[in-house]
Amino acid sequence: MKFSLLLAFVGCAVATQLAIGNADSQRPMIVSYPGFDLDLNELRLVQLEGQEPVWMTELEKINLKAEGVHFFDVTDTPDLGSSAHLRSAVKPVYASLNHSDVIRPILKTLSTDGPKENLKEFTSFRTRYYRSDTGRQSQQWLLSRISEITTQYAPKALQDQIAINEFPHAWGQNSIIVRINGSSATDDSVVIIGAHQDSTNMWPFLPAPGADDDGSGSVTILESYRALIAADFRPVRPVEFHWYSAEEGGLLGSAAIAKAYEARSANVHAMSQFDMTAWVKRGTREEVGVITDYVDPSLTEFNKKLVQEYLDIPYVETECGYACSDHASWAKAGYPSIFTIESTFGNSNKNIHSANDRYDISPEFSFSHMLEFSKLAVAFAVELAGWTKKD
Ligand SMILES: *[C@@H]1O[C@H](CO)[C@@H](O)[C@H](O)[C@H]1NC(C)=O
Ligand SMILES: *[C@@H]1O[C@H](CO)[C@@H](O)[C@H](O)[C@H]1NC(C)=O
């Protein structure tokens, strides 16, 4: 999409609420929109594939994204990955699957009820844009929902092992990190399951229900978390669930978190991103898209084994390019990370970044498809973090 089209958006869609000025010819316009804290003239440092980072305005960034270009906004994290080389020597080894006995009963407890109810609420915010008031409110809602689920489903002794925290960001919508401590006294390497909570319209001031992108992944991993704690999951390694802010701004939330983990030399055993888990394109076979570019190859092979062993649908290999979701922030920091998506990239939902990214737009939006991904996250957590035997 070109700049002129965006101006047309401003002109027709939101003109009454905007103040537009063109005083400085270097600066395209000044826009203020109630409920948003977004300066389109602010300079950001942006990293594109195979290039040194370049400075551009927020508006130029938005235009790039509208053209389908993926990037890191590295303004706040220019040195992410500066110690990544230290980790390349010691790669984790992913052994064969051996927790079927504990995993299978949990998979039976997964349901579409919670995801339906949660997604209905999560998409009721006008937008979850990371620099909007409703984006902040949707994050607060998610945080309280996670707390309620924890109180309702985790046995009391397990609750003492769980920490629910906001990871603060300057733009207002915080990321959320839920940690279940591990029982190991010697292995502190964490298993991370992630999704991004923010949404955006191609023009950020317009409505963005973000049902698939990435409301689906957000409630998918929440359902996995619910089932795991209801089963009194006691991992050997710590397990964390992350709901990132500002993925749509250039992976800002995940980059800030990965940078913090890198700064304290945290060990990460494995990270798995769930971004868009609901869409089954009409006339296509239902399958799980295993991303094969910019991911850790051995963890990806392990992920395929999980699909084959625990899911009712097959996987298909697919690619999504540079910096295409939050797993890329972890990869940049030298941590093994992977990405699984609803289908091949080509068959994925084309309503994203629009007001039509709704769960009720088409039967192609499938809660039973999402449930397969909840199975995958449960299996990922247990097979990689282990299960502490009761005395
Ligand atoms: C599963 O495999 C791991 C790694 O090979 C091993 O440490 C663990 O004891 C095994 N667990 C079970 C339940 O067999
Ligand atoms: C989890 O473990 C960490 C590190 O050992 C510790 O600092 C923290 O207090 C523990 N959290 C809970 C909720 O027990």
Question: d(Cα 313, Cα 292) in Å, to the nearest integer?
Answer: 18
Q: Which residue's CA is the closest to the ligand 1 atom numbered 14? A: 98
Assess if residue 78 is contained within a domain: no
Between helices 297-310 and 100-107, what is the axis angle to 10°?
60
The number of CA neighbours under 13 Å toward the Cβ of 252 is 24
Distance (Å) from CA 357 to ligand 2 centroid: 39
Assess if residue 282 is contained within a domain: yes
Q: Helix-strand-coil percent breakdown of the chain, rounded to 5?
A: 40, 15, 45
DSSP letter, residue 29 = -
Residue-level pLDDT, tens digit, the chain, 391 residues = 333 344 434 433 343 334 344 444 455 556 689 999 999 999 999 999 999 999 999 999 999 999 999 999 999 999 999 999 998 778 899 989 999 999 999 999 999 999 999 999 999 999 999 999 999 999 999 999 999 999 999 999 999 999 999 999 999 999 999 999 999 999 999 999 999 999 999 999 999 999 999 999 999 999 999 999 999 999 999 999 999 999 999 999 999 999 999 999 999 999 999 999 999 999 999 999 999 999 999 999 999 999 999 999 999 999 999 999 999 999 999 999 999 999 999 999 999 999 999 999 999 999 999 999 999 999 999 999 999 987 6
User: Closest Cα to residue 358, out of 16, 134, 125, 22?
Assistant: 125
Assess if residue 76 is contained within a domain: no
Based on the fold, state whether residues 374 and 288 are members of the same structural domain.
Answer: yes
Distance (Å) from CA 181 to ligand 2 centroid: 6
The structural domain count of the chain equals: 2
Question: d(Cα 101, Cα 119) in Å, to the nearest integer?
Answer: 31
Based on the fold, state whether residues 156 and 255 are members of the same structural domain.
Answer: yes
Based on the fold, state whether residues 124 and 20 are members of the same structural domain.
Answer: no
Radius of gyration of the chain (CA): 20
Phi then psi for residue 66, to 5 deg, are -65, -25
CATH of the domain at 230: 3.40.630.10
Question: d(Cα 249, Cα 45) in Å, to the nearest integer?
Answer: 12
Based on the fold, state whether residues 32 and 128 are members of the same structural domain.
Answer: no
How far CA 58 is from CA of 20, 41, 86, 275, 284, in Å, comes to: 16, 6, 34, 24, 37
Mutate to test the pocket of ligand 2, among 177, 181, 189 (most ligand atoms within 8 A of CB): 181
Assess if residue 105 is contained within a domain: yes
Based on the fold, state whether residues 285 and 160 are members of the same structural domain.
Answer: yes
The ligand whose atoms approach the alpha carbon of 186 most closely is 2
Cβ contact 275:247 at 8 Å: yes
Question: d(Cα 350, Cα 343) in Å, to the nearest integer?
Answer: 12
Assess if residue 328 is contained within a domain: yes
Residue 233: which residues within 8 A CB-CB, separation 6 or more? 106, 158, 180, 239, 381, 382, 387
Based on the fold, state whether residues 235 and 97 are members of the same structural domain.
Answer: yes
Distance (Å) from CA 44 to ligand 2 centroid: 36
Question: d(Cα 165, Cα 301) in Å, to the nearest integer?
Answer: 32
Domain boundary among 69, 92, 118: 69
Based on the fold, state whether residues 139 and 38 are members of the same structural domain.
Answer: no
Taken in order 306, 219, 177, 167, the sign of the CA dihedral is positive
Based on the fold, state whether residues 192 and 92 are members of the same structural domain.
Answer: yes
Assess if residue 239 is contained within a domain: yes
Domain boundary among 44, 69, 94: 69
Based on the fold, state whether residues 135 and 205 are members of the same structural domain.
Answer: yes
Ligand 1 contact, 95 CB (< 6 A): yes
Ligand 1: which atom is nearest the Cα of residue 101? 13
Q: Which domain holds residue 56?
A: 3-69
Ligand 1 contact, 170 CB (< 6 A): no
Based on the fold, state whether residues 256 and 137 are members of the same structural domain.
Answer: yes
Assess if residue 339 is contained within a domain: yes
One-character DSSP codes across 291-355: E-SSS-HHHHHHHHHHHHHH-SS-EEEE---TT-STHHHHHHTT--EEEEESS-GGGS-TTTTST
Question: d(Cα 278, Cα 287) in Å, to the nearest integer?
Answer: 11
DSSP letter, residue 17 = G
Based on the fold, state whether residues 263 and 362 are members of the same structural domain.
Answer: yes
Domain boundary among 28, 44, 69: 69
Ligand 2 contact, 184 CB (< 6 A): no
Ligand 1 contact, 93 CB (< 6 A): no
DSSP letter, residue 219 = H
Distance (Å) from CA 172 to ligand 1 centroid: 43
Q: Which tokens belong to 196?
A: 């991004």
* pLDDT given at position 224: 99
Question: d(Cα 220, Cα 217) in Å, to the nearest integer?
Answer: 5
pTM over cut 0.75: yes
Based on the fold, state whether residues 63 and 97 are members of the same structural domain.
Answer: no
